[in-house]
Structure 1
Amino acid sequence: MVRGVVRARLGRMRAEETKAIAAALGVEVVATRTLAGGFSHETTLLELAGGGAVVTRLGGPDPAVEAAVMELGRRYVPVPEVLLVLPSVADGRPAMVLEHVAGTPLDIVLAGPSTMPADPGTLASGPGIELTDPELLVSGPDTVRPDPKILTSQPGDVRSDPEIVLAGAGSGPGADPGSDPRSDPGSGPSVGELRALGVEVGRVVAGIGGAGFDRPGFFGGSDLAVAAGPPWSEQLPAFAESCMSKVPSSRLDPAVRAAWAEMCAAHAPTLTRVDGWARLVHSDMNPKNLLVTRAADGWRVDAVLDWEFSFSGCPYADAANMLRFGADYPAGFTEGFRAGFAAHLPSDLPSDDDWVHLGHVLDMFALSDLVTRPAGNPVADRAAEEIRRWVAGGVPR
């Protein structure tokens, strides 16, 4: 699902903003460092007197709703703790202050050993490290760049199934310790480890849906009351057609745009099966918004980041977001993710064996919106590739 986002003009954190946040925290800020940021937020690491650090996100809409969603989400999955919400800092931009966390962004892990930190348990995004060009994010529409730095729940809260980890990691009775990839911190994960990582990520993503609401839709305020609106099955045809009218001509030719709008209209009735679902959906569930750690006993998800676009709806949307560019992931991860997600959906949700297909139909909202971005945007161009693939071969199952 997609909604409009206020995009603030971004700039470096001003001295008066730093001072105002320091005053609110009651501790001196001794250094600042701009981290990877993007469309509607600027993300800055603040190093504090006496040691320690926090992360500040400046700009965008009032973060009170996101803070409330994060507080709710913390009951179900590892979510950063929000320390402060400031509607206006130094008579300027709103800010949210979050506690810093160690962990490796999942996209770094999936990219391979050349991008991994020497110690898999150390922070991949420390002060001054710009993880990536902000425009290269593979994610949902109007996405705020990830904060690879926020608070997690306590270690051990989220673990992979030990049997799955041991089966794929060269461990267990009779295993040769020298063959275990974890014995060499600089080596990349094996296929078995990547499957175990996928299982763990799938389990956590499914867990987000444990939070429920009285109806599907978008949150109207920090009380997380959900505004009533037409069902998704009714919204998709008109939304897709509107988006196709805004796509740069260099990205998709008229025939593909028309075919995509027709495909969305044809598949929209399928969503009547989940129109009434009213569960917490993260809505930007991509590898850059997850921090993970490869520990001695398996993978752990340390934090789920960036909840700005959350809404009440069907959890299959989050799974489809993660799977959107699944062909780019290394062997083992996608298989594990699908298994972990399916096995750990909340037990009170009705079972549907066609959940992958339904999720992809929900993802048609995001793909339609993504390709409306200006020409030259690499994420939009990647989404256009998917649209052409779906038009040629049908909605994936």
Structure 2
Amino acid sequence: MRETWGRATPALAIDPPAATRAVATLPGSPAVLRVTPLAGGLANTCLRLDFADGRAPAVLRIHQRDPGAAPREAALHRHALSLGLPVPAVLLEIPASIGLGGPALLLDHVAGTRGDVVLAAMDDAGAAAVGQQLGGLLARLHAVHPGPVGLLGPDLRVATPFSDADAGLAGFIDRCITHGRGAARLGPVLADRLCAMIATEARRQQPPDHPPSLVHGDMDPTNLLIGDDGRITAILDWEFALSASPYVDLGHLLRPPLGDRPGFAAALAQGYRQAGGRLPEDWSIKARLVDLTAWAEFLDRPSISDGLHRSARQHIARTITIIAGATP
């Protein structure tokens, strides 16, 4: 799906001398021998650095979209590691003044292949096994409660709480669609169908069955690394982590094609519950509803690519049909 969305900003090109200057405070001040762009990501730049002294490679992640995300993401990596989650360790925090094009993090290079590539080649049983792993990891993450719904500061406390309207499903959809740019981009028929469904379902889902939790915010297979043995070796790209409903992450994982794989959703729920997470029987409906807020936010942005516009329309129409068929 994401391959049609296009990059929001051009990727940066960094040569070995510039990379060497950026990592000069590493022990031994190693020279960078080679810089290799890494696939994935639509706004920031990730580069593999290989060193002349033969030490293990590292990943240079340059924050272009939101420079303020760099210290927060560093703190998130450290906290996730303390929870036993598979994330790369932070080797250096590099300020924007170094001149790379934004502040950057130097991260451990973790072995593994991008999750979307691995899962596409797996049979349904293999995909379900990954789903069960993900459920267990997310239950561990969602057991952390930073505060009300809102954006996190570098101390991982809620720095910008959402308004009561924006924190709720109906209020957020109303702002983005009815009073935002979303209605024009969806068209009147689809916008009316969405708002009518949200009005009904938002009442049905009250009160929320989970307190706000620490969520990854972009739990997409493209942000996973999976080893040859089928184990998840890393969860990447924590830029969008926030305090919100756990259904933010669960709903993202139900997007196609992964959420359409037979047995995946059941395995995801099983892993979540086995790790201590609570899920009601209708969790998948609630997760799909919450995931609509992400698509509404896309549609309300000042500008979006044609590919993202098409994906949003298709996914919203599809979700309305699924929920209508699953609820009395």
TM over 0.5: yes
- Name the structure 1 match of 2:316: 387
CA distance, structure 2, for counterparts of residue 96 and residue 274 of structure 1: 36
- Name the structure 1 match of 2:4: none
CA distance, structure 2, for counterparts of residue 230 and residue 345 of structure 1: 30
- Name the structure 1 match of 2:13: 12
Counterpart amino acid of 2:24? A
- Name the structure 2 match of 1:211: 144
- Name the structure 2 match of 1:273: 207
1:324-378 CA distance string (max 9 Å, x none): 22566543433322322233244xx6x5333222222211211212345656543
Counterpart amino acid of 2:173? A
Q: Conserved in 1, the CA contact under 8 Å of 2:115 and 2:226? A: yes
Pairs within 5 Å for 1:46-125: 46-51=49-54, 52-60=56-64, 61-62=67-68, 63-76=70-83, 77-91=85-99, 92-112=101-121
- Name the structure 2 match of 1:222: 154
The alpha carbon displacement at 1:247 in A equals: 4.1
Structure 2: gaps (5+ residues): 1-7
Counterpart amino acid of 1:11? L
CA distance, structure 1, for counterparts of residue 124 and residue 209 of structure 2: 37
The alpha carbon displacement at 1:48 in A equals: 0.9
| Alignment of 1:45 onto 2:55 | no
1:160-181 CA distance string (max 9 Å, x none): xxxxxxxxxxxxxxxxxxxxxx
* 1:248/1:215 CA distance change after superposition, 3 Å: closer
Counterpart amino acid of 2:208? V
SS of equivalent residue, structure 2 residue 119: helix
Q: TM-score, normalised by structure 1?
A: 0.68
Instruction: Name whichever of 97-106 and 325-334 sits farther off.
Output: 325-334
- Name the structure 2 match of 1:127: none
The alpha carbon displacement at 1:45 in A equals: 0.9
The alpha carbon displacement at 1:98 in A equals: 0.6
CA distance, structure 2, for counterparts of residue 232 and residue 324 of structure 1: 25
- Name the structure 1 match of 2:245: 314
CA distance, structure 2, for counterparts of residue 278 and residue 328 of structure 1: 23
Counterpart amino acid of 1:222? P
SS of equivalent residue, structure 1 residue 384: helix
Pairs within 5 Å for 1:250-289: 252-270=186-204, 272-274=206-208, 277-289=211-223
Counterpart amino acid of 2:21? A
CA distance, structure 2, for counterparts of residue 352 and residue 291 of structure 1: 29
* 1:309/1:70 CA distance change after superposition, 3 Å: same
* 1:294/1:206 CA distance change after superposition, 3 Å: farther
* 1:16/1:247 CA distance change after superposition, 3 Å: farther
SS of equivalent residue, structure 1 residue 273: coil
The alpha carbon displacement at 1:207 in A equals: 2.1
SS of equivalent residue, structure 1 residue 80: coil
* 1:95/1:233 CA distance change after superposition, 3 Å: closer
The alpha carbon displacement at 1:29 in A equals: 0.4
The alpha carbon displacement at 1:105 in A equals: 1.9
CA distance, structure 1, for counterparts of residue 261 and residue 204 of structure 2: 31
The alpha carbon displacement at 1:246 in A equals: 2.0
Q: Conserved in 2, the CA contact under 8 Å of 1:360 and 1:395? A: no
**Which structure has the highest helix share of the two?**
2
CA distance, structure 1, for counterparts of residue 137 and residue 324 of structure 2: 25
The alpha carbon displacement at 1:94 in A equals: 0.7
Pairs within 5 Å for 1:165-176: none
Structure 1: gaps (5+ residues): 1-6, 113-188
Q: TM-score, normalised by structure 2?
A: 0.81
The alpha carbon displacement at 1:304 in A equals: 0.9
Which of residues 158, 168, 181 is equivalent to 1:246?
181
CA distance, structure 2, for counterparts of residue 57 and residue 281 of structure 1: 21
Counterpart amino acid of 1:97? L
| Alignment of 1:32 onto 2:35 | yes
Cα RMSD for the two superposed structures:
2.8
CA distance, structure 1, for counterparts of residue 187 and residue 157 of structure 2: 41
Identical columns (%): 29
1:96-148 CA distance string (max 9 Å, x none): 11110111222112212xxxxxxxxxxxxxxxxxxxxxxxxxxxxxxxxxxxx
Q: Conserved in 1, the CA contact under 8 Å of 2:34 and 2:50? A: yes
Which of residues 277, 295, 298 is equivalent to 1:367?
295
Q: Conserved in 2, the CA contact under 8 Å of 1:17 and 1:90? A: no
Counterpart amino acid of 2:213? R
1:231-257 CA distance string (max 9 Å, x none): 4675433432343342496x6322112
CA distance, structure 2, for counterparts of residue 84 and residue 263 of structure 1: 47
CA distance, structure 1, for counterparts of residue 261 and residue 245 of structure 2: 27
* 1:324/1:194 CA distance change after superposition, 3 Å: closer
Counterpart amino acid of 2:268? F
Q: Conserved in 2, the CA contact under 8 Å of 1:361 and 1:395? A: no
